[in-house]
Amino acid sequence: MSGNKTLIMIKPTAVRKAYIGPIMGKIAEGGFKIKAMKYTCLSIEQAKAFYAVHSERPFFGELTEFMSSGPIVAAILEKDNAVEEWRNFIGATNPAEAAEGTIRKLYGTSLGENAVHGSDSDENAEIEGNFFFSATERY
Ligand code: CMP
């Protein structure tokens, strides 16, 4: 059975371009419920820990430097089948290939600076949610 939560981030470029508001609007439109949310900044060490699964990939340095380059918004969203629903909702990883109307198409800049993150499995949603939020920060 699929889970009902996913961990999302609004990435530094989208925050810098003042897209937090529009993206929050899309989240509401998509029927996702906010269970936890914070405006924060990842250190390079935190970014490396969060994306440890990609540590062997050639873009790991670029990815972690970018993700620690400025404030982000992290949130746990709830919806039936949340991981897949969110991934469909935001569009392909590369904004250039994302479907019209998706968050990455509307607000993404490039493959690395693709506006938002979404967990890729229920297991990682749990791990990533715990990375940002304690039990008392979820409502
Ligand atoms: P995200 O959903 O945050 O998960 C991993 C991220 O790595 C992904 O979004 C992209 O932003 C980034 N990424 C994937 N492939 C590349 C690449 N070839 N070059 C730079 N960044 C990439």
- Considering only CA atoms, which of 71, 26, 23 is closest in space to residue 47? 71
Report how far residue 133's alpha carbon sits from residue 93's, in angstroms, rounded to the nearest whole number.
Answer: 25
- Helix-, strand-, coil-residue percentages of the chain, each rounded to 5: 45, 15, 35
Cα(116) to centroid(ligand 1), Å: 10
- Give the domain ranges of the chain: 5-137
Q: Which of 111, 120, 124 has the most ligand 1 atoms within 8 A of CB, as the residue to mutate? A: 111
For 65, the token pair is 């430097």
What is the pLDDT, as a whole number, of residue 2? 82
Cα(63) to centroid(ligand 1), Å: 7
Q: Whole-prediction pTM value?
A: 0.97
Question: Closest residue (by CA) to atom 19 of ligand 1?
Answer: 59
In the CATH hierarchy, which fold is given to the domain comprising 5-137? Answer: Alpha-Beta Plaits (3.30.70)
**CA distance readout (Å), 15 to 67, 71, 135, 138:** 11, 7, 26, 23
Asked if 54 is an active-site residue, the reply is: no
Which tens digit of pLDDT belongs to each residue from 38-78?
Answer: 999 999 999 999 999 999 999 999 999 999 999 999 999 99
* Average pLDDT for the chain: 97
- pLDDT > 70? residue 1: no
Place of tokens 């620690």: 68
